[in-house]
A and B are shown apart, each in its own frame.
Chain A
Amino acid sequence: MHKFILKRLLMMVPVMLGVMFIIFTLNYITPGDPVRQLLGERTTQEDIDRVTRELGLDRPFAVQFGNYVRNAFRLDFGRSFVSRQPVFTEIASRFPTTMRLAIMGVIVSVLIGVPLGIISATKQYSIFDNTATVVGLLGVSIPNFALGLILVLAFSVRFRIFPPSGFSRPIEWVLPAITIGMSSAAIVMRMTRSSMLEVIRQDYIRTARAKGQKESKVIFRHALKNALIPVITVVGLQFGFLLGGAILTESIFAIPGLGRFMVDSIRQFDYPMVQGGVLFIAITFSFVNLFVDILYAFVDPRIRSQYK
């Protein structure tokens, strides 16, 4: 297992280099001049040239990229063009918030999606199953910003239970977590349902029932454990999407996370911030994938044996 983890960690290095190269190239070829954006339309050509030199943007692509990679290995990702603060500090101040939001989104999606999926599968074509299907469809279809605003209008403005914005106190986590977790919950539910349906038709489930085991034991001990692999994959992927895709939820609830910050950075051509942000998200995504792979081993002994 240790060997497997070490191998995976080493494999992340070329992946990260690839990510750096792609995002650096994209920034380089995107139309628009970061210096003009930074200085505004009233600036002079002399100032544009001076700031271009100061930011090192006059150097050839290979030199710029080489410097960036060398510095990145020393955890120096440069300074933001806009705030002039170190990229690492800027990201570090927002990343925990984004992580917390993504983790809570995943918790909500698992807490809602897995039980509903199990019940839907065990009571296939019942009223409950059909209702859950409709709710699941709604969950996937309602855009985050609409659900967020509806929740705020209902629970903040009308009933005054939860605050309409913020993310520092536990009470402030509830509405954003539901908003961001709902669409994932629907996907997790559908995956749990189909995976469970496949498993409960297997011979060993019939055998378990024939042995006279309790239905709950059959479902949770025999069926669920075997149905979990695809669910874990989906949850892992959802977590990755939530890391970078929480922009609307962050906007509605004024959460100072990485998603919206990245959008602003892209708009302002703040290259160092965009590169640093994408790299952080990519690294986190890779770690989540690794964690998911390790989790497979715990759930399924057959996979564990392959890791050796």
Chain B
Amino acid sequence: MKKSIAKIASLLLAGVLVLGACSNNNNNDDTLVVIMPSIPAGLDPVAQNLQPASQVMVQIYETLVRQVGRDMVMSPGLATSWEFENPQTLHMELRQGVEFHNGETMTAHDVKFSLDRAINSPNVGFLFEMISEVVVNGDHSVTLLLEFPFAPILSHLAHPGASIISQSAFNSHANPDDYALSPVGTGPFMFVDHIASDRIELTVFENYWGASPNVDNITFRQIPEATSRLIEIQTGNAHIAYGISATDIASARTDDRVNLIQDPNLSLTYLGFNTQMPPFDDVRVRQAIAHALDLESIVEAVWLGIGSPALGPIADTVPGANRNLVPYEFNPQRALELLAEAGHPNGFSATLWTNTGNAQRADIVEIVQNQLRAVNIDVTVELIEFTTFTERMDTADEHQMYVLAWGTVTGDPDYGLYSLFHTSGFGPPGNRMFWSNPDVDRLLDEGRTETDWNRRVQIYAEAQEIIHANVPWISVWQGEDVSVTASGVTGFEHFPAGHHNLWTVSIGN
């Protein structure tokens, strides 16, 4: 009896060890395995506006123009050249001989079809609301007619929402929703398989018009737990992991099996004021609060060193960000003086809102509450479900202070400033501070229509100075992307907007 038990036990152990030996490095040599916190449910460019979808879609689809590198330099994509006939008419010549993954040739009709879908999409339509019509001029040329002069149109056309899809592939589905799981683009990789909540597999597109990627296949795997993502790289099961948490950074930094990559991105977390609600209608009160907050300590406590205290109204990674602004010094004494000048020598009470389901924002409001107590401002914190939170700030009747974030995903200052600080942006477009300044309105309108980039930089620098001085919001945190790659992986770089290109990545040995 004892002998047979021992036999069974040793057989089981041997089995486990053999299976265990097969467990590591199980990927094909030419497959790049990328670990993400979540994989998208579908890959229709206009059916959502979410980062995980963009991270996969940029490998499959292409846009008319593309932004390249950390500086987001505008380069030709599926359009080879473009010209403004006048500020409201943009001609674009399309690349010839471009094939879709289904073997069909891309034409101007596909471009019109894709852009029309984007314009009418409730998810990404706001990015393309300035396009009144897309006109097809033969097979390889389109003209975009704009409702109003809009200089940053190219950066909007580079957004993944404007990806060009195959019209016939889309129309081949009886139910349009089914296209999301059989996407057909022109990019260097084509879609192979999607296993819900588990993985998405892509393979190289042999007839791609551009340079071939360095790997033959990509597998995106979903691993929600941050530490598990790092472990996948440490154990050699994957090559790149996105979204490494602050608590794992030390472990990644000291491990020579992995490379830690940290880069600032385009996001900014801010504390906004309802500037039509007393006492926040007084700029001295807002400035006092800016002096009363120790941003360094907030960032250190909340994000454990990831990212940095923000300075201006847009993230300083955005081209055109004014890096010469002078930060509000942490000076509670000065804050008390300003409050006294504004008629609040004994402070006041106020509410501070943010949304539920975001641990960092919940931490921020708590720390802000504590820091403002030192200058006699008694803050009541309210955590509100997200959609109710934003809905209640659609008008200026209720909220006082709030914490929210913004990402300038197009990489153009217009996107980070216009809807947030222009009077026309009151409410849902983004100006929930209900702050209005004629000079800023004029400058932002000018920045939209001016086509000379250097002149635009000057215009936006001035606008940012005025906004910074008036403090409709306090910029709190400049976000950062944190990823790890396995040692031997080369050619990976963070794209500031978060959808990193993978066709330059090599996985080595």
Chain B 381-420 residues near chain A, CB threshold 8 A: 385-388, 390-391, 419
Contact between chains at A47 and B125 (CB < 8 Å): yes
In the complex, what residue of chain B is closest to A258 when comparing beta carbons?
A: B197
Contacts A85-B41, A160-B235; is A252 near B428 (CB within 8 Å)? no
Q: Which chain A positions have C-beta within 8 A of B26?
A: 163
Q: Which of B123, B125, B235, B430 contacts A164 (CB 8 A)?
A: B235
Task: Report the separation of the CA atoms of residues A61 and B105 in the bound assembly, to the nearest whole angstrom.
Answer: 49
Per-residue CB proximity of A19-44 to B under 8 Å, as 1/0?
A: 00000000000011100111111111
Contact, CB under 8 Å: A51 / B386: no
Do residues A260 and B224 form an inter-chain contact, with CB atoms below 8 A? yes
**Mask of B336-378 contacts with A, CB within 8 angstroms, 1/0:** 0000000000000000000001000000000000000000000
Q: B429: which of A33, A42, A80, A161 is its contact (CB, 8 Å)?
A: A42
Q: Are A85 and B237 in contact (CB under 8 A)?
A: no
Contact yes or no, B123 A40, CB < 8 A: yes
Complex Cα–Cα for A51 and B19 (A):
50
Residues 227-254 of chain B, each 1 if its beta carbon lies under 8 Å from chain A, else 0 = 1100110110100000000000000000
Write the nearest CB–CB distance from B94 to chain A, whole angstroms.
29
**Interface pair B41/A82, CB less than 8 Å apart:** yes
What is the total number of residues of chain B having a CB less than 8 Å from a CB of chain A? 49
Q: Is B122 among interface residues, defined by CB-CB distance under 8 A? A: yes
CB of B16 closer than 8 Å to a CB of A: yes
**Least CB distance, B126 to chain A, in whole angstroms:** 5
Does B17 make an interface contact (CB < 8 A)? Answer: yes
Among the listed B42, B125, B235, B388, which residue makes an inter-chain contact with A84, where contact means beta carbons less than 8 Å apart?
Answer: B42
A41, A164, A257: the one within 8 Å of B228 (CB): A164
Q: Is A152 in contact with chain B by the CB < 8 A criterion?
A: yes
Inter-chain contact A39/B123, CB cutoff 8 Å: yes
If the complex has contacts A42-B430, A161-B16, A254-B223, are A33 and B122 also in contact, measured as CB distance less than 8 A? no
Given A37-B387, A43-B122, A252 contacting B225 (CB threshold 8 A): yes
The digit string for A55-76, where 1 denotes a CB below 8 A from any CB of B, is 0000000000000000000000
Q: At the interface, yes or no: B24 with Cβ under 8 Å from chain A?
A: yes
A45 to B181, CA, bound (A): 29
Interface flag for A304 (CB, 8 Å): no
Which A residues are CB-close (under 8 A) to B42? 83-85
Alpha-carbon distance between A39 and B428 when the two chains are bound, in angstroms: 12
* A209–B16 alpha-carbon span in the complex (Å): 41
Chain A contributes a number of interface residues (CB within 8 A of B) equal to: 54
Contacts of A160 in B (CB 8 A): 20, 23-24, 235
A83–B17 alpha-carbon span in the complex (Å): 40
A285 at the interface (CB under 8 A from B): no
> Do B221 and A41 touch across chains, with their CB atoms under 8 A apart?
no
Q: Does B71 contact A (CB under 8 A)?
A: no
Does chain B have a CB within 8 A of A194? no
Contact residues in A for B419 (Cβ distance below 8 Å)? 42
Q: Whole-angstrom distance between the alpha carbons of A162 and B391 in the complex?
A: 48
A165 at the interface (CB under 8 A from B): yes
- Asked whether any CB of chain A lies closer than 8 Å to the CB of B107, the reply is no
Q: Which residue of A lies closest to B404 (CB)?
A: A41
- For residue B196, CB closer than 8 A to chain A, the reply is yes
Closest to A252 in B: B225
Q: Which of A40, A41, A84 contacts B47 (CB 8 A)?
A: A84
Residues from chain B with a CB closer than 8 A to the CB of A157 are 231, 234-235
A164 surroundings in chain B (CB, below 8 A): 228, 231-232, 235, 237
Q: Are A256 and B390 in contact (CB under 8 A)?
A: no
Knowing that A41-B428, A254-B224 are A-B contacts, what are 6 other residue pairs whose CB atoms are under 8 Å apart, sorted by A's residue number? A40-B123, A41-B390, A85-B41, A160-B20, A257-B197, A260-B197
Could you give 14 example pairs across A and B, Cβ below 8 Å? A32-B386, A36-B387, A40-B123, A50-B122, A83-B180, A84-B177, A93-B196, A94-B196, A161-B17, A163-B23, A164-B228, A164-B235, A170-B19, A252-B225
9 closest cross-chain pairs (CB), A and B: A83-B41, A84-B177, A256-B198, A47-B122, A171-B19, A256-B197, A161-B20, A36-B387, A254-B223
